[in-house]
Amino acid sequence: MTRRFRFPDGFLWGAATSAYQIEGSPLADGAGPSIWQRFAHTPGMMANGDTGDVACDHYRRYRDDVQLMRALGLQSYRFSVSWSRVLPEGTGRVNPKGLDFYSRLVDELLANGIVPNATLFHWDLPAALDDRGGWLNRDSADWFADYAQILFRALDDRVPMWATLNEPWVVVDGGYLHGTVAPGHRNLYEAPRVTHNLMRASAAGIQAYRALGKHAIGVVFNIEPKYPASDAPADIAATRRADAYMNRQFADPALLGSYPPELREVYGEAWPEFADAECRPLRQKVDFVGLNYYTRAVVRHNAAEWLLHAAAVPQAQRPRTETGWEVYEQGLLDLLTGFRARYGDIPLYITENGAAFADPPHVAGGLLEDPLRVDYLRRHLKAAHAALEAGVDLRGYYAWSLLDNLEWSLGYAKRFGLYHVDFTTQRRTPKASAKFYAQVIASHGEALAEP
Ligand code: BGC
């Protein structure tokens, strides 16, 4: 018997992007520089010397891009707001033209029947705030709440879904510990302090929303399920550390009001031992949690590995994407059921899921064939459906990403889009995955069944 994959009515189908990755024109209309503007213009930081100066030129082409969303039948679009467009110095003076861009984008979405889902912080901190210590400064939580209030006042009448932060782990691990993303620090002692200030900021943003907002607010985590390489106690302990560091370091304070005990082992003397009274207020009622899923890791104890004393075991026989990530759809199901088991019944959205593949430059019938991406989406959407069948309160799915875009320090070479972007001409071409996703949406998931 052919399995059926019908998703419930009201399940929200979307696609996601973020400001610095697609907008371009980073200093237009009075915007201040962000830390990504600085980082991308620092020699040696970006693959191929790429920057977000032009990106997908979405800042000027947003109307056309909304038509691409419409062609997919998207019901919702998840985007992020560039803080330094709205507040060029990060605090104080509002730049009306910067705010107006998001107001126009939201109007355009609504005029096309697409629900706006706005993320307040997707990594592009105003450079002026970095000059004041950035996320190391305890005032950052207040800066963030003040910025959030400006957005709530301007757009909550039209934006029904908000998220405070996108993937705080990347900011901490890439931005402050390994220096691979902005602001490019490498400092073990900074990392847990940044975690704490990010989680304080998220909590302050949610509190501000309770006073001003009328709809829903949540926070977005990237969760990478960790599986032990064997039953050996050392591997199981290593897996727990890896999970605490990447996943629970953020979800626990936000949803339970405490940090996982393994973080003491991980950070050693760099762990600040936050008092309970510091941690409890990090837990604020959220209306939903957004989960970004790309891959999993199989973990083995390895004393030689710095920090975690754990190593990811490559799964040689399994398919991988262009970013080297194993394709493992079971991980999405495990993540969703595991998240509910640990944190209880909170409405969940998959706020990002997708894959980079080198798309062949072959256009057949106006479509660019990307069978690997179609396969990736099909597998993961089936896993999402299985989670619904297992009783998870999953409310929607956002594909990453609408367009090929700037994959941060990996530059433009890693393509995640449903639409191919020619970065010389800015021409957008639908990939076969765009057509496939449109069919899935139109059929409420029925198109996931194999032909
Ligand atoms: C981020 C995106 C990024 C994607 C693929 C997530 O970590 O939120 O900005 O492009 O994954 O790496």
Per residue in 343-363, pLDDT tens? 999 999 999 999 999 987 666
Task: Write the pLDDT tens digit of every residue in 102-139.
Answer: 999 999 999 999 999 999 999 999 999 999 999 999 99
Percentage of residues of the chain with pLDDT beyond 90: 97
DSSP 26-82: TTGGGPPPBHHHHHHTSTTSSGGG--SSSTT-HHHHHHHHHHHHHHHT-SEEEEE--
Q: What is the pLDDT of residues 377-429, one digit of tens each?
A: 999 999 999 999 999 999 999 999 999 999 999 999 999 999 999 999 999 99
User: Tens digits of per-residue pLDDT, 30-78?
Assistant: 999 999 999 999 999 999 999 999 999 999 999 999 999 999 999 999 9
pLDDT for 205 equals: 99
Is 222 a pocket residue for ligand 1 (Cβ < 6 Å)? yes
Q: What is the pLDDT of residue 364?
A: 64
Q: Residue 276: how many CB atoms within 10 A of its CB?
A: 8
Query: How buried is residue 281: exposed, middle or buried, by Cβ count under 10 Å (0-12/13-18/19+)?
Result: middle
Q: Which atom of ligand 1 is nearest to the CA of 407?
A: 10
Q: How far is the CA of 407 from the centre of ligand 1 (A)?
A: 7
- 368: phi then psi, degrees, rounded to nearest 5: -95, 120
Q: What is the mean pLDDT of the chain?
A: 97
Q: Ligand 1 in contact with 292 (CB < 6 A)?
A: yes
Mean pLDDT of 275-294: 98
Helix axes 96-111, 140-155, angle to 10 degrees: 50
Does 166 contact ligand 1 (Cβ within 6 A)? Answer: yes
Active site residue 369: no
Distance 234 CA to ligand 1 centre (A): 31
For ligand 1, what atom is nearest to the CA of residue 166?
8
Ligand 1 within 6 A of CB of 410? no
The active-site residue, picked from 167, 224, 329, 407, is: 167
And the tokens for 427? 């021409």
Q: Which of 23, 108, 329, 352 is catalytic?
A: 352
pLDDT of 193 higher than 70: yes
Enumerate residues 6+ apart whose C-beta is below 8 A from 396. Answer: 11, 12, 13, 14, 76, 349, 350
Asked if residue 173 has its Cβ within 6 Å of ligand 1, the reply is no
First CA to last CA distance, the chain? 13
CB of 221 closer than 6 angstroms to any ligand 1 atom:
no
pLDDT of res. 1: 56
Tell me the average pLDDT across 203-218: 98
Instruction: Tell me how far the alpha carbon of residue 192 lies from the centroid of ligand 1, in angstroms.
Output: 21
DSSP 236-298: HHHHHHHHIIIIIHHHHHHHHSS--THHHHHHGGG-----HHHHGGG----SEEEEE----EE
Return the best residue to mutate from 23, 82, 120, 167 for the ligand 1 pocket (most ligand atoms within 8 A of CB): 167
> What pLDDT is attached to residue 451?
64
The ligand 1 atom nearest the CA atom of 356: 5
Given a contact cutoff of 8 angstroms between Cβ atoms, the answer to whether 117 and 76 are in contact is: yes
Domain positions in the chain are 12-448
CA dihedral 205, 211, 217, 221 (to 10 degrees): 20
Ligand 1 pocket residue status of 352, Cβ below 6 Å: yes
Lookup: tokens for 199: 């989680």
Question: Distance between CA 442 and CA 445 in Å, rounded?
Answer: 8
Preceding amide of 80 cis, omega within 30: no
Q: Which of 34, 170, 322 to mutate to test the pocket of ligand 1 (most atoms within 8 A of CB)?
A: 170
Give the residue-averaged pLDDT of 242-263: 98
401 CA from centroid of ligand 1 (Å): 9
Active site residue 108: no
pLDDT class of 367 with cuts at 50, 70, 90: confident
Task: Tell me, using a 6 A CB cutoff, whether residue 295 lines ligand 1.
Answer: no
12-448 homologous superfamily: Glycosidases (3.20.20.80)
Question: What pLDDT is stored for residue 366 in this prediction?
Answer: 74
Task: Please calculate the CA angle 44-50-52 and round it to the nearest 5 degrees.
Answer: 120
Q: What is the mean pLDDT of residues 224-244?
A: 98
324: which 2 tokens? Answer: 């080297």
Please give the number of the atom of ligand 1 that sits closest to the Cα of 401. Answer: 10
Tokens of 29: 């209309």
